[in-house]
Amino acid sequence: MVHLRIPLHLIGLLLLMVISSPIAAQNPDYIFHFDTSSSGPSGAVVTTRSLIDNNGGVLAGWSIAICYDSSMEVVEAVNGSAPNTSNAGGPADFAELSLFPGFGVRQGVVINFVGLNDLPIDTDHEAIVMQAQLLGPDDTFAAIEYCTEVFPGDSSNSENLAVAPGGIAIEPTTIDGLIEIGGILPFELSASPSASSVEQGGDVDVQILLDAPVENYGFSFGFAHSGAALTLLAADAGAALTALNGGNGPAFLTMDIDPVGADGLVVGCLYSLSDLTTLPAGNGQELIISHYQAVATAPLGITTLDFTDTLIPQSPSPPTAIVVSIGSTSGVVQTSGTGIEILEGVFGVQFTRGDFDGNGTLNLGDPVNLLDYMFSGGTASACEKNGDIDDSGSIVLGDPVLLLSYMFSGGAPPAAPFDECGIDPTEDDLTCDQFDACP
């Protein structure tokens, strides 16, 4: 018996192609191409994407094989948005991606094993996102292409195929790409929160930072967040901006915390209007500090904040572009947003039950003071709840009796919170305005 070795990336596709039609010549309605818009000098790492146009119909899956020349090296490859979201918003049932350093990248995708979901008709579906290091000299190009290749460890070719529903295999039109080597490294805008998590109702700040490979003259960007999770309270100039012009700050700085029809921050800045003051090259330069409060009813979990070019400061202004000015032109700008975890909030004043005088200790004075308050016009506690020993929602004679029983007769301890500071777990009419013994 002869045992055939089937490459892993084709296993899923074969499930679709058991009744496939013969592959015809390259079909112009299905195009595999690249986004090679990112460029940089020799040694830079740039982002390159493999994209799919399927104008001819929906797709059930695909196979991609990518090769590149010695002027570049793909150092990282991950599945793009198409395999990650095309299965009813979730990842494809089968999505295998392999990187062969020095050779190429291979991907095989089956969206849904039983054909319930497909890749819809559209252009620029993102199949693969690659980080490529440019190795060639400046003022040259690195070549990247779709190929038929036997990668290391394989015994058969990896191919480029589009698979329609019903297992119809289609040879797509493939368009090779060229990545320009030269110019300057890209600028990078990034976001750094003051904390990785915040409770509902709590405050958190986010720094907007700039990595600048060369001096620059100004910038603009939008920075969006979810209004259901966070409220943007204010925004201030960061240390890099306040130090400009002898400590007087930039000549022009506008910040809009209430853009039209959206939640986010819009910033535009020119460092100087006359003498061409610049922000020097450097990494981690603090441009803006934005101040947020988590909404009291915010959904629990990670909420994202990210840079965008769609926010409109005030009508009829256009959307604000993501730009870093380097004079008569703009530099290439890469962005990386951030995420903050929303935790369940603790609302109310913390206290310890039974500590009626609020001095931080439980002793005989507490039941005595509680009885004095109840029957002799004694001083009331600023936190009524700590006198409700059984958490019944009211203060009655049984409360000091229960406290004395616990202290001297081995009775049950007061209801929570007792051993440590906390919030009353029961909603009732008793108040707690202040309790200095707890933070």
pLDDT tens by residue, 63-84: 999 999 999 999 999 999 999 9
Residue pair 235/288 in contact by the 8 Å Cβ criterion: yes
| pLDDT at res. 188 | 95
Mind listing the domains of the chain with CATH numbers? 8-181 (2.60.40.680), 187-343 (2.60.40.680), 348-439 (1.10.1330.10)
CA-nearest of 236, 234, 231 to 303 is: 231
Helices (H), 248-397: 365-375
pLDDT above 90 covers a percentage of the chain that reads 82
Sequence-separated (6 or more) residues with CB below 8 Å from residue 368:
none
Per-residue model confidence as pLDDT tens digits over 292-329? 999 999 999 999 999 999 999 987 899 999 999 998 88
Quick one: pLDDT band at residue 16, thresholds 50, 70, 90?
very low
| pLDDT at res. 166 | 85
Adjacency order of strands within the sheet including 203-212: 230-237, 282-294, 203-212, 187-193, 333-336
Quick one: pLDDT band at residue 413, thresholds 50, 70, 90?
very high
Per-residue model confidence as pLDDT tens digits over 235-245? 999 999 999 99
Quick one: pLDDT band at residue 14, thresholds 50, 70, 90?
very low
Residue 234 has pLDDT above 80, yes or no: yes
Sign for the pseudo-dihedral over CA of 383, 387, 392, 395? negative
| pLDDT at res. 24 | 52
Residue pair 317/256 in contact by the 8 Å Cβ criterion: no
Lowest mean pLDDT among 2-11, 53-62, 141-150: 2-11
Residue range 198-224: average pLDDT?
96
| pLDDT at res. 150 | 92
Residue range 201-217: average pLDDT?
96
Per-residue model confidence as pLDDT tens digits over 134-178? 999 999 999 999 999 999 988 888 999 999 998 899 999 999 999
Enter the pTM of the model: 0.57
Residue reference for tokens 């919170």: 417
| pLDDT at res. 3 | 38
| pLDDT at res. 11 | 46
CB atoms within 10 A of CB 401: 14
CA-nearest of 424, 350, 422 to 390 is: 424
Pairing of strands 252-256, 338-343: unpaired
| pLDDT at res. 382 | 92
| pLDDT at res. 439 | 80
